[in-house]
Amino acid sequence: MRKILLTASVLTLLGACASPGNVTSSLRPRPGPVNGVGTEAGMQAWIADFRPRAERAGISPATLNLAFADVHYNAEVVSLDGRQSEFTKTVWQYLAGAVSADRIAQGRAMLSRHATTLNAIEARYGVDKEIVVAIWGMESNFGGNRGSTHLIESLTTLAYHGRRAEFFETQLLDALKIVQAGDVTPANMVGSWAGAMGHTQFMPSSFLEYAVDFNGDGRRDIWSDDPTDALASTANYLAKAGWQRGGIWGMEVTLPSGFNYSGIGKTNRMSSAAWAAQGVRSADGRAFPQGEASILLPGGAKGAAFLIFPNFRAIERYNAADSYVIGVGHLADRLKGRGPIRNIPANAEPPLSRTQTQELQERLTRRGFDTQGTDGRVGPNTVSAITAYQRSAGLIPDGYASASLLASLR
């Protein structure tokens, strides 16, 4: 998951905890930036302090010498890590870029060009080849934006600099394990500034868990121009995340007049037959597949509604953002020849920025609709609080954090 652009998958992984099984941190203080300002000398001291920990984790001195031979403090990486964009866009604006006519055309060309490989991957892992190609398109524009930052240097800089240091030290250790296994040289281990790599932007920890040598050349190579191992590794990732062979991710639906919005949300699952009994219908006339499903309104009640199935959650393991999962699923549908999303509002309200969301949470909590914190992120507790407030105010309880909702609370 990697490029000098920060992919959506990286955004998900940046908040992850260090994976189990890594060496416990030393109790003594480690070298770090002075007053938050990093230096070349400071990072070299950090590397010297880190080497014994890496050796205890199984990294050989020879691998460490090779990996750190030309590693220097990278101020640009620190700058990128410190930026937090307040820009927001609607899910429909996001999808317009993610599932553009050009990307659909490129995706179809890739399906044709790599047909033999993709058919073999689909047969082995049970994941639709169009889903795999859609992730490839979303993550690196079909390999066009794989990133060019040297991973060992960027991960070392981020582990030294202190913000999310444990997470990045874990990723650095995993990157060194990859080098030691012979899958790639340090010079060729490139990707995005935050550590994601290759055609489908795997973090080092994800690589160690899911990467496969599908072409049988003895290396799990997700970096080269040949995308075979990267595509197979992505299918393996989804299969292990619970992908159901022959199932669908979801479909656009229409909701009946008088629909009970209290049933929406990913945590409320019913059989597709039960949703049909409530008057929910597919937007394109297809019959519902059997299975548990939920209703999702990513842009609120005024936009498209989706009936989502377990495969939605498998893609969500790759990237937890609803807009990303819908983007992957819808791009795959377009590659299969299905039509565009039908109910896209002309004047959709964008989601709130993080600062605005914090204000929303504060105002809801003061009114007795406790969001269980004011972190500026719209999680299940905030959605529940929004829904409760909307019901009390006679609004459609769609749980969507919009500017008009914030205005009503002001």
User: What secondary structure, in 3-state letters, does the chain show?
Assistant: CCCCCCCHHHHHHHCCCCCCCCCCCCCCCCCCCECCECCHHHHHHHHHHHHHHHHHCCCCHHHHHHHCCCCCCCHHHHHHHHCCCCCCCCHHHHHHHHCCHHHHHHHHHHHHHCHHHHHHHHHHHCCCHHHHHHHHHHHHCCCCCCCCEEHHHHHHHHHHHCCCHHHHHHHHHHHHHHHHHCCCCHHHCEECCCCCECCCCECHHHHHHHCCCCCCCCCCCCCCCCCHHHHHHHHHHHHHCCCCCCCCCEEEEECCCCCCHHHCCCCCCEEHHHHHHCCCEECCCCCCCCCEEEEECCCCCCCCEEEECHHHHHHHHHCCCHHHHHHHHHHHHHHCCCCCCCCCCCCCCCECCHHHHHHHHHHHHHCCCCCCCCCCCCCHHHHHHHHHHHHHCCCCCCCCCEHHHHHHHC
> Does residue 157 form part of some domain?
yes
How many structural domains compose the chain?
2
Q: Establish if 1 belongs to a structural domain.
A: no
pLDDT tens-digit map of 334-359: 999 999 999 999 888 888 888 999 99
Residue 18 has pLDDT above 50, yes or no: no
Q: Which whole number is the average pLDDT over 238-267?
A: 94
Assigned domain for 31 exists: yes
Domain assignment present for 224: no
This model's pTM is above 0.95: no
Averaged pLDDT, 48-54: 97
Residue 228 lies in a domain: no
Q: What is the rounded average pLDDT of the residues 271-297?
A: 96
In a domain, 194, yes or no: yes
Domain membership flag for residue 202: yes
308 part of a folded domain = no
Instruction: Say which CATH number the domain at 165 has.
Output: 1.10.8.350
Q: Which amino acid is at 117?
A: T
Parent domain of 167: 8-83+147-209
Find the distance separating the first CA and the last CA of the chain, reported in whole Å.
Answer: 40
Domain stop point among 209, 233, 248 = 209
In the predicted structure, residue 86 carries a pLDDT above the cut 90: no
Question: End of a domain among 209, 230, 249?
Answer: 209
* Tens digits of residue pLDDT in 286-313: 999 999 999 999 999 989 999 999 999 9
Q: In this predicted model, what pLDDT tens digit does every residue of 179-235 receive, in sequence order?
A: 999 999 999 999 999 999 999 999 999 999 999 999 999 999 999 999 999 999 999
Q: Of 164, 180, 209, at which residue does a domain stop?
A: 209
pLDDT tens-digit profile of 234-247?
999 999 999 999 99
